[in-house]
Structure 1
C-alpha cells in the first residue's frame, strides 16, 4: 500500500508537466503519421525522467518505444500513447489526454522501479484515426515482447470491458467512357455505376450479418452535367461484429461491384485499408483498473447490453497481448465524440483532473500486474480462453 501511495504521489508531483504536455499536443493538432511535434514533446518528457527511447519503430517516423528497467527480470507492461488528431476539429477524440495519461502512468511507476521485477514501456502509436498505426506495429512485431498493454480513452461515461467492431474502408473506382449527354448511348456512365453500387448495397442489408453496417459517400461523380462521366469514385466504411463477419460483408460488396462491371461494361478497381479487428478487453486487468480508480472517486461500469460500438486499432493489439482500452468521463453525456464540443472538453480543467486520475489508475494497475503472480496467470487464462487466433490471411 505504501508503494501505491508513493506512485500516486509521484504522478501528482508532475501534474504541471503532464498538463503542459496535454496542452502542447492539443494546441498543435497533427494528423495521422504527421504527429512530429506531439512525439517530440512526449519524448522530451520521458527522456527527462530517464526513459530510454527508440524512435521511428516499425518503419513509422512518429512511432516510438520508451522503456525503463526494473531491478530484475519479469513481465513487460506497456502503456499505449495516442496523439493524432482529426481533420478540421483537432483533438475531438481527446488523444492529447490518452497520450499524456500513459506517459504519466509510466513515469509514476518508474519511480518505484527498484521495487519491480520487469520492464515499464510506453509505446507511441501514431495514426489511430484511420491510419491503422497499431495494425502496422502488430504486423511488424512491435508487441512480440510485450506481456500486457493498457490505455484509457476519454469519453462521456466511465466504462470497462467495452468491445469494438471490426472495420475497414473500401474505395471503389469505376472507369467508363466519356460522351456528350446528347448522345449518351456512345458512353459508359461511371457515375451510374456508383449509383447502382449504393442501390445494390441497400438491397442486401437484410442478409448481412447482425451488427454489420455500411456507410458510404460519393467522392467524385463527374465534372459537368452535360458530359457522361468516364470516371466516378465512392468510398465506404464497413463495420461488423467480427473479422469473420467483416469478410462476409466485403465479399458481398465485391460481388456487387463485379456484377456492375458485367452489367454496365465499366472497369472497376477496389482499394482496401487495413483491417481493424474486433476488440477483446481483458476482464482481469479491467477489474484491477476499476478497483484502483475507485479510490479517486470514479466508479467504472460495464457497458449496457445495447451500447453501440465504434472501432479502433487497439483491437489488433488485443489479439496478440492481454489489453484494456477503458473509458473515462471528461464530458457530459450527449457530447458527441469527433466534434468541436469534445475538442473543447478535452482541454478543460475537468479533463485534466480526470487525466490525472487515469494516469494514477493505470500506474497502480501496472504495479498490481508486476507484483501479483496469480493476477498475471488469471489474465492469461482468460486471454487464451476468449481471444481467437486468426490466421494472418484473415485480416489482410
Structure 2
C-alpha cells in the first residue's frame, strides 16, 4: 500500500503544484480566502469527498469527508496570506499538502481495505487569531481520533515548539484639554500608556525564561496640541505554557492599574485572543519522522534558538492527539518566515518538490493510523498522560 500511495501522489503531482501556485497568486487575507477555500473544496469534490462549507459560522472554513466509522483522522488546511507580502508563511502549501495526502488515500483504495473516516478541515485566518479554537469549540473535533498538519519552514522536523499566547487590548481614558492654554485641566492618557510600556520594559527582567512581552501603541492621541483623552495598545504575552501566560497577564494588569493610578486615568483590559502551546504527540511525531526519512527528507531537531512563534494548532493539540510537522522549502538556506524571501520560496520549483515530499510523508503517516491500531493507541495513551 505504501508504494501505491506514493505512485498516486506522483500521478497527481502537477495538480497539487497547480493548486498551491493558484492559492499563492490569490494572496487572500484571513477570513477573506473565498477563492482559496473554494478551489480546495472543488478539488476534493472531484475526488469523491463530501464537502460542507461555512462551518462553525466561518465563511471560509470547510470540512470534506470520506468514509465512515472509526478511526476518524483529520488533516488540517490553512490558506490565508499576509498583508503586503502575500504567502510569506507558505500557507498556499499547507492546504495543498493535506488535500494531497487525503486524496492519495482514496486513489490508493485505503478505505477498501480498512474501515475509518477521513476529514480535511479547512481552517481560515491562522494569522489573525484562534480560529482552530473556534472549530474545536464548535465540536468539529469531538469524534476525531488524531489530527495532523505540515507547515513550510527553513528546516524539516516532526516536533513543533510553539508558545502559548494571550493578546490584549489595553485602553486608557483621560480628559482632553488644550496642551498649551489649559493643560492642568487635562488627564493625559498618553502618559498612562507610556508608563505602561516603561513598566513592561522593567518587568522583562523578572519573567520566566523564554517568556515574551511585546506590543504596539495603536492610538497615541489625535493632535499634538491636545492632551489625549484616549489611548490604546495591543500587547502579546507569550510563555512556554498557558498557565505561565495567565500569570504574566495578571502582572500586566497590575502595570496597567499602576499607570492609570499615577495619571488619574481609568483603563480597560480586553482579552482578544488566547492560544495554548502546542503539545506535540510524540508517537505521531516519531512516525512522521520515520516517513520523512522514507521519502528522503533530512530531519532536524527544532530548538528555541531557531525562533519560536505561536499557532492555533495548539488548540487542536489540547483536544486530540495531534502534531504539526515542518517541511524545508528553502533548500537549507536560513530564511525566516514572514519575509519576501520566504514568499519566493513558497512559489519556487524547489519549494514545490519539497511540498510533494511532505504530501508523501503525511500520506504514509495517515495510512498508518488506519492500518496500525497500535500506533493510534499509543498516540491516545500519550495524549491522556500529557493532559493529566
TM-score, normalised by the number of residues in structure 1:
0.94
Q: What number of residue pairs does the alignment pair up?
A: 384
SS of corresponding position for 1:228: coil
* Partner in structure 2 of residue 323 of structure 1: 322
* Partner in structure 2 of residue 65 of structure 1: 63
SS of corresponding position for 1:39: helix
Report the Cα distance in structure 1 between the residues aligned to 2:85 and 2:387, rounded to whole angstroms. Answer: 35
* Partner in structure 1 of residue 231 of structure 2: 232
Runs of 4 or more, structure 1, over 4 Å off, are none
8 Å Cα contact 2:166-2:237 kept in structure 1: yes
Deviation at residue 9 of structure 1 after TM alignment: 1.0
* Partner in structure 2 of residue 383 of structure 1: 383
8 Å Cα contact 2:192-2:262 kept in structure 1: no
CA RMSD after TM alignment: 1.3
8 Å Cα contact 2:168-2:273 kept in structure 1: no
* Partner in structure 1 of residue 72 of structure 2: 76
* Partner in structure 2 of residue 131 of structure 1: 129
Report the Cα distance in structure 2 between the residues aligned to 1:42 and 1:184, rounded to whole angstroms. Answer: 59
8 Å Cα contact 1:169-1:238 kept in structure 2: yes
* Partner in structure 1 of residue 51 of structure 2: 53
TM-score, normalised by the number of residues in structure 2:
0.96
* Partner in structure 1 of residue 302 of structure 2: 303
SS of corresponding position for 1:151: strand
* Partner in structure 2 of residue 219 of structure 1: 218
Deviation at residue 292 of structure 1 after TM alignment: 1.4
SS of corresponding position for 1:66: strand
* Partner in structure 2 of residue 373 of structure 1: 373
* Partner in structure 1 of residue 95 of structure 2: 99
8 Å Cα contact 1:152-1:327 kept in structure 2: yes
Report the Cα distance in structure 2 between the residues aligned to 1:387 and 1:206, rounded to whole angstroms. Answer: 31
8 Å Cα contact 2:161-2:303 kept in structure 1: no
Please show how residues 23-172 of structure 1 align to structure 2 within 5 Å.
23-69=21-67, 73-111=69-107, 112=109, 113-172=111-170
Deviation at residue 291 of structure 1 after TM alignment: 1.5
| Residues 1:350 and 2:346 are matched in the alignment | no
Could you report, residue by residue, the CA deviation over 1:3-42 in whole angstroms, capped at 9, with x for unpaired residues? 1111111111111111111011100111111110101100
* Partner in structure 2 of residue 314 of structure 1: 313
Deviation at residue 262 of structure 1 after TM alignment: 2.1
SS of corresponding position for 2:71: strand
SS of corresponding position for 1:188: coil
Change (3 A) 1:10 1:330: same
The answer for unaligned runs of 5 or more in structure 2 is none
